[in-house]
Amino acid sequence: MSSIFGNKIKVSVFGQSHSKAIGVTIDGLPAGIEIDIDELQEFLNRRAPGNNEFSTKRKEADKPEFVSGLVNNTTCGAPLTALIYNTNQKSNDYKNIMDIPRPSHADYTAQVKYGGFQDVAGGGHFSGRLTAPLCVAGGIAKQILRQQGIEVFSHVSSIKNIKDDDLDKVNPDKDLLNKVINKPFPVFNDLKGDLMMKTIINAKSESDSVGGTVECVITGVKAGLGNPNFDGIENKISSIIFGIPAVKGIEFGNGFSSTLLFGSENNDEYYYDNDEIVTKTNNCGGILGGISNGMPIVFKVAFKPTPSIAKEQNSVSFKEKKDTKLVIKGRHDPCIVLRAVPCVEAAAAIAILDLI
Amino acid sequence: MSSIFGNKIKVSVFGQSHSKAIGVTIDGLPAGIEIDIDELQEFLNRRAPGNNEFSTKRKEADKPEFVSGLVNNTTCGAPLTALIYNTNQKSNDYKNIMDIPRPSHADYTAQVKYGGFQDVAGGGHFSGRLTAPLCVAGGIAKQILRQQGIEVFSHVSSIKNIKDDDLDKVNPDKDLLNKVINKPFPVFNDLKGDLMMKTIINAKSESDSVGGTVECVITGVKAGLGNPNFDGIENKISSIIFGIPAVKGIEFGNGFSSTLLFGSENNDEYYYDNDEIVTKTNNCGGILGGISNGMPIVFKVAFKPTPSIAKEQNSVSFKEKKDTKLVIKGRHDPCIVLRAVPCVEAAAAIAILDLI
Amino acid sequence: MSSIFGNKIKVSVFGQSHSKAIGVTIDGLPAGIEIDIDELQEFLNRRAPGNNEFSTKRKEADKPEFVSGLVNNTTCGAPLTALIYNTNQKSNDYKNIMDIPRPSHADYTAQVKYGGFQDVAGGGHFSGRLTAPLCVAGGIAKQILRQQGIEVFSHVSSIKNIKDDDLDKVNPDKDLLNKVINKPFPVFNDLKGDLMMKTIINAKSESDSVGGTVECVITGVKAGLGNPNFDGIENKISSIIFGIPAVKGIEFGNGFSSTLLFGSENNDEYYYDNDEIVTKTNNCGGILGGISNGMPIVFKVAFKPTPSIAKEQNSVSFKEKKDTKLVIKGRHDPCIVLRAVPCVEAAAAIAILDLI
Amino acid sequence: MSSIFGNKIKVSVFGQSHSKAIGVTIDGLPAGIEIDIDELQEFLNRRAPGNNEFSTKRKEADKPEFVSGLVNNTTCGAPLTALIYNTNQKSNDYKNIMDIPRPSHADYTAQVKYGGFQDVAGGGHFSGRLTAPLCVAGGIAKQILRQQGIEVFSHVSSIKNIKDDDLDKVNPDKDLLNKVINKPFPVFNDLKGDLMMKTIINAKSESDSVGGTVECVITGVKAGLGNPNFDGIENKISSIIFGIPAVKGIEFGNGFSSTLLFGSENNDEYYYDNDEIVTKTNNCGGILGGISNGMPIVFKVAFKPTPSIAKEQNSVSFKEKKDTKLVIKGRHDPCIVLRAVPCVEAAAAIAILDLI
């Protein structure tokens, strides 16, 4: 199950950081949907590495090759498979990971689980590179959802202690959000964005890294989507979001902040707005009992600081069975939050599409 | 899928707040496991209503009747089904919910999804009462896990802005935790507990409610459990935890706080402790790449304030298609966090058992 | 997974032959469907034991008690759970099965799989009695399907070498089929039915048993239902049909006979019948590429002779680790084909409903 | 779900007859298993087209390219993906299928299901060509099973009314079977094989086609594998076997023939053979209650005659909404049974591996 997500549509991600290719198969897409390949590529470019000084210098075009499921760029009902060939691997950088696990990476846990047979190069199947095929699937899901009036937007809501302006959870401005997601640094408040960038650059210059949060809003979901118990919108979104490397938390609507409020403050009261039932506030993030209430679906995701840092760290040697020091070489993002923004959108789009 | 959780074991919850019975079927349990029914009942009593002034006055014994799957209290390989008969319903209290949805409850979303055919009495299938069969399954899961050296503990980590003492994530004291979970108010620091209780009582006296957080620690999970991508420990736990009503957020290890740290602060460095590889800190909450690293698994859950409050609220009338006022009658917990503590343990135990 | 069937709807069967109750949970039924309980009971009576001299003398009313999922006999969107309490067990009859496995029963395989912890009384979870809850689910599925113009009929197509008349696969006569399924011995040709009955009675008088086949036709399925590959109608139906005890084969349309024909004989040619595309023959049984073509769906199921026979048989003693003799006591059907007829209908109805 | 099979391992097949590539992803393979690529290729060659006069003249090397999941030909725990690039398509042959459906092909059902967007070239996703990636997965499964002492063999048990010699279901001769499966025409009795070949050639010369049966035996499965109800060996095997195009029936052990026997004839009596419990006969095909009893697992599959025949046939024109004639051009197997033999082995191996 580990690399397959969904019930009605099945998104199956494969590949390792340095395997011949990475890719995705999407089973269950309706037939007759034309995919705008250029738009998809633009979406993928938002995630692609090598774009700026905040991300790894590994250069990959991340251009998917569709080997099945499309006829004239239109879905034909058969499973859609897209490959992205890996071209810019530097496997030599990873030789000693087999012996000395990087702190807070999956090196040690993979070593135990796979008994030394895991592909260590570039983090193997655990690499953030696997979010590229996730974004292929998510970019396609976004296009399908938009045809149904549903849109998904994310922004960097914080880097370390620097916070972006708050999203309007009740009436998010879609024009503004469309501009935000296409900024090189996707925030509402560019002054805050500048501070965030400085924070990242400073961390990098100190051979260190930082984390942050990504906020996501899904507009246009009508009331009645989702299910109670274990198949609600929150369950569905969280179970795919935790498939993105470095995610350590998720909250919907007010989330953890709602625990600081009285019920009378946190409850979202209903009223009629032109024959439509809406709420005055959106503290629940558009979800009640696992089911959408017609308000925007809002959630926030916590990304830990990139575990790969250039600073010397303590670790152990499996072979020598003793403590040792480790200096990580190679090309790494000092902050993965920026590139995670489209990944969060992709994951959310897949989750919602699977529920429709 | 909505009421069934798991892959290797399938936990299927059924019933409504006021149906003849609620219950659970567990498919996939190994044969030959003796269930300690008394211990299970003690666990269920931690969740049962009517125990104190902080919870609803509805009295239910929550005594499960096992109709299949056990021979002499020992699992026989066939699906285990347990029923809890509902005895103390007062359906009259819920008559007008069909017309006027309670803010931040699932009344409105259920109305849209089920077209008015949903069982509204007591919240129907969305009721917190459905956590009783979840606890039956979880209590059994806990017994099975303990035979394998795995234990699950939770405490009230906060009520509104009052916080309990911090859990030691690296070396949790299991004796202490065993005492804590059996306290009437399960906190480390009883002075803080007293403040929490006052906070709840005050809210109740103001016809209001409060929320809080529950922290959970799972000890004894060896390194190597879980899977990458969409079937990791975090995905699994979050997808069941969001099945508990009122949950709005979850974080693992440092969670959202990790976004405030540098990588060098947040990384958990390895060292050898008597031939065993452990980490100095446990900011990752025992999970890397979806897989356990042998340290305690730690996560925290946010519960919103009980949406049922006695204060008058604004809502709408479906029939009259206009705004109206609502006063909720009936018996409700001014804070469900206390009774949620065993539910979080139950959900965590089921998630871990499903991964083993 | 073993006791749960389906994707869109999940049918979860539980219970053992001699447990307190057997039952079924159906998750995923749409809300607002009124169940005709009397009609359901009539359907269950077709399967119930003790009706005639061809079946076991165990008497069970097989009257389901609905504990959840219905409000005023109407589905409410929550999982529907029905119980049938076991009342007429005679567990003493089964004492020595723990030691001496009955040939061609699941006693030995269960012993190995469950290590002696399986419930042996009456065959435990392997008992044909578990088809009662299957029929509860199937009877409900039949009612839902009929509201959509889909009907499911089965008849005894053979007992040993006695064959009933052939079904018209192209234009099955639904009025006739409705009469057939409600006959005490459901065949087209009552003279053949008499011969079948004699065959069964003769076998019984010889302390022996016989098997046979059940043919099933599903009318009213429009073209386009089902999926290619592993989720076609044939895959779906076969995977539930083999959940009925004693089934050893299944064939669709011409089935094994099609292997004796030339392609030019077996192909079903299309023609227009009043703007509708139909086929002249129905050798494919209404399914091409896993997908319905609008013709009746037809399949046949092979039931082996009841393994429980009164004749002395050779077997082994686990305890004494040596060969021994076995005489099976207790109440058994000399032929289970008759009672299997509604079970096949039930299974087919569930499979089709899950695909819709 | 349609193109994904399995629970513990997930086999996901993708591609169309004339898409850029076809392929398979296998998720859940254990790490550390070395794949013998040459042996796999030999297995694939048994299925590959163009080998003899009984099969289509389309020439494809069917050489898989592994893009992920292997490190030095050894599984690394990540999903294994293999592609086979299509090279010898002739799409022009299929132009008029969009308008005139071939009898007993999936053209019409696909047209209805996918609304005209299906890939018609070469049968698209419904093509027998999709059994190539199934055989990649199955060939790998066979290698893994053999390391555990489990072997899978199939032979052509009949072509039209010509039957091969019977398999010894109790003590199949593995050396002989190894020779049989590697024959150009895999039968026990080569004289019968000659007759079968003549039957095929005659049909071809008459612009017609024939069908037949494939028998499969799985040796080395210990008692206790499989589950009751819906997840038994029969359910599992049948649900994948019906994913092979042209399959119309399956029977286990004696199958339909068992319906002609008395219980006393069909029952498989136990005895001790050197401390091991075995049966004198194997009429049940090694499966009781869905669970293996330690005897060889035996089943037989019915393949209808190839629907593509060169003879003129009646059909309809969608566009003109009237009856019409059809002559199928292109390259087709006059009998697909021969090439189906390794496909049946592949499917059986995957099913068994998924249960282990």
For residue range B285-296, what is the model confidence (pLDDT) as tens digits?
A: 999 999 999 999
Q: Taking 90 as the threshold, does the pLDDT of residue B264 lie above it?
A: yes
Q: Do A321 and B275 touch (CB under 8 A)?
A: yes
pLDDT on residue D169: 97
Three-state DSSP class for residue C4: strand
Angle at A135 between CA A131 and CA A137, to 5 degrees: 120
State whether residue B7 sits within 8 Å of chain D by CB: yes
Which CATH superfamily, name and number, covers B4-355? Chorismate synthase AroC (3.60.150.10)
| Non-local CB neighbours of B288 within 8 Å, separated by 6+ positions | A104, A105, A106, A108, A109
pTM: 0.95
**How far is it, in rounded angstroms, from Cα D338 to Cα D199?**
13
Of D1, D16, D25, the CB nearest to A14: D25
pLDDT digits (tens, 9 = 90+) for A149-197: 999 999 999 999 999 999 999 999 999 999 999 999 999 999 999 999 9
Which segment of A2-6, A301-305, C22-26, D209-213 scores lowest on mean pLDDT?
A: A2-6
Backbone angles phi, psi at B105, to 5 degrees: -95, 175
**Lowest mean pLDDT, pick from B334-348, D55-69, D294-308:** D55-69
Q: How far apart are CA D138 and CA D11, in angstroms?
A: 9
What's the CA angle centered on B77, arms B73 and B83, to 5 degrees? 55
Averaged over C252-270, what is the pLDDT?
Answer: 97
Query: Is it the case that residue A1 has pLDDT exceeding 80?
Result: no
Cα separation, D140 vs D32, in Å, equals 13
> Per-residue pLDDT tens for B211-254?
999 999 999 999 999 999 999 999 999 999 999 999 999 999 99
- pLDDT of B94 > 90? The answer is no
> Under an 8 A CB cutoff, do C263 and D3 touch?
no
Side chain identity, residue B224: G
Instruction: Give yes or no for C261 touching B (CB within 8 A).
Output: no
The Cα–Cα gap between D249 and C283 comes to: 12
Strands C247-252 and B4-5, bridge-based pairing: unpaired
Q: What is the mean pLDDT of residues B180-193?
A: 95
In this prediction, residues D193-199 reach a mean pLDDT of 95
Those residues whose C-beta lies under 8 Å from the C-beta of residue B173, and which sit 6 or more positions away, are none
Question: In the predicted model, is pLDDT for residue D47 greater than 90?
Answer: no
Per-residue b or e along C283-301, where b marks 16 or more CB atoms closer than 10 Å to that residue's CB: bbbbbbbbbbbbbbbbbbb
Averaged pLDDT score across all residues of chain B: 93
The per-residue pLDDT of chain D, averaged, comes to: 93
Q: What six digits make up the tokens of A301?
A: 């995701």
Strand partners, C251: C300, D249
- Which residues of chain C lie closer than 8 angstroms to A78, CB-CB? 228
φ, ψ for residue B256 (rounded to 5)?
-60, -30
**What length does chain A have?**
356
**CA of D228 to nearest chain B CA: how many angstroms apart?**
9
Distance from C-alpha of A244 to C-alpha of A141, rounded to nearest angstrom: 17
Cβ(C258)–Cβ(D335) under 8 Å? no
pLDDT the model gives residue D61: 77
Cα dihedral D158, D163, D166, D169, rounded to 10, equals 30
Report D:61-120 residues touching A (Cβ under 8 A). 65-69, 71, 74-81, 83, 110, 113-119
Residue-wise pLDDT for B122-142, tens only, equals: 888 888 899 999 999 999 999
- Asked whether residue A91 carries a pLDDT value surpassing 60, the answer given is no
Inform me whether the pLDDT recorded for B330 exceeds 90. Answer: no
Question: Locate tokens 């990504």: which residue?
Answer: A214
CA dihedral D204, D205, D206, D208 (to 10 degrees): 10
> What residues of D are in contact with residue C268 (Cβ under 8 Å)?
103-104
User: For the residues D306-334, what does the mean pLDDT come to?
Assistant: 90
A154 closest CA partner among A294, A4, A301, A287: A301
Q: Do D235 and C238 touch (CB under 8 A)?
A: yes
- Tell me which amino acid residue B177 is: L
User: What gap in Å lies between CA A215 and CA A297, rounded to an integer?
Assistant: 11
**What is the pLDDT, as a whole number, of residue D2?**
77
From CA B140, how far away is CA B29, in angstroms rounded? 10
pLDDT of residue A174: 96
Distance between CA atoms of residues D268 and C105, nearest Å = 9
Torsion of CA A61, A67, A73, A78, to 10 degrees: -140
Residue C152 Cα, gap to closest chain D Cα (Å): 20
User: Chains near D, with 3+ CB pairs < 8 A?
Assistant: A, B, C
Measured CA to CA, the distance from residue B211 to residue B335 in angstroms comes to 6
* Confidence at C2, pLDDT banded by 50, 70, 90: confident
Give the rounded distance of the alpha carbon of B181 from its chain centre.
Answer: 14
The Cβ of residue A236 has, within 10 Å, a number of other Cβ atoms equal to 26
At A10 the pLDDT is 94
CB half-sphere exposure, D35, CA atoms < 13 A: 27
Does residue A50 carry a pLDDT above 70? no
pLDDT of residue C58: 61
Can you tell me whether residue C91 is helix, strand or coil? helix
Question: By the CB < 8 Å criterion, does B45 face chain A?
Answer: no
By the 8 A CB rule, do A258 and A266 touch?
yes
Rounded to whole angstroms, how far apart are CA atoms B110 and B127?
Answer: 12
Question: In this model, does residue D84 exceed pLDDT 70?
Answer: yes
A7 — contact with chain C (CB < 8 Å)?
yes
Burial B227-255 (b: 16+ CB within 10 A, else e): bbbbbbbbbbbbbbbbbbbbbbbbbbbbb
Cβ of B117 within 8 Å of Cβ of C12? The answer is no
Lowest mean pLDDT among A13-27, A124-138, D73-87, D326-340: D326-340
What's chain A's average pLDDT? 93
Span D42-55, mean pLDDT? 76
Q: Where are the domains of chain C?
A: 4-355
Q: Place A135 in a pLDDT band, splitting at 50, 70 and 90.
A: very high
Instruction: Give which of A200, A235, A322 to mutate to test B binding, by max B Cβ within 10 Å.
Output: A235
- DSSP 8-class letter at A149: T
d(CA C252, CA C233) in angstroms, rounded, equals 10
A105-134: pLDDT as tens digits: 999 999 999 999 999 888 888 888 999 999
pLDDT band (50, 70, 90) for residue D91? low
ipTM reported for the complex, 2 dp? 0.95
Determine the pLDDT at residue D98.
84
- Mean pLDDT, range A46-67, rounded to an integer: 75
For residue A235, the chain B residues in CB contact (below 8 A) are 238-240, 242-243
Query: Quick check: C321 contacting D, CB < 8 Å?
Result: yes
* Burial class of residue B207 in the structure, from the number of CB atoms within 10 Å of its CB (0-12 exposed, 13-18 middle, 19+ buried): middle
CA dist list (Å): A53 to A196, A204, B109, B345: 13, 10, 46, 44
Chains that touch A (3 or more CB pairs under 8 A): B, C, D
Strand order across the beta sheet in which C65-68 lies = C4-5, C10-14, C21-27, C80-85, C65-68
Are B2 and A303 within 8 A, CB to CB? no
Q: What is the pLDDT of residue B230?
A: 94
Among residues B25, B138, D228, A293, which one has the least CA distance to residue C79? B25
| pLDDT tens column, C216-248 | 999 999 999 999 999 999 999 999 999 999 999
Question: By C-alpha distance, which of C280, C283, C279 is closest to C294?
Answer: C279
Q: Quick one: what percent of chain C has pLDDT higher than 70?
A: 94
With 60 as the cut, is the pLDDT of residue A239 above it? yes
Mean pLDDT of chain C, nearest integer: 93
Collapsing DSSP to helix, strand or coil, B240 comes out as helix
pLDDT band at C95 (very low <50, low <70, confident <90, very high): low
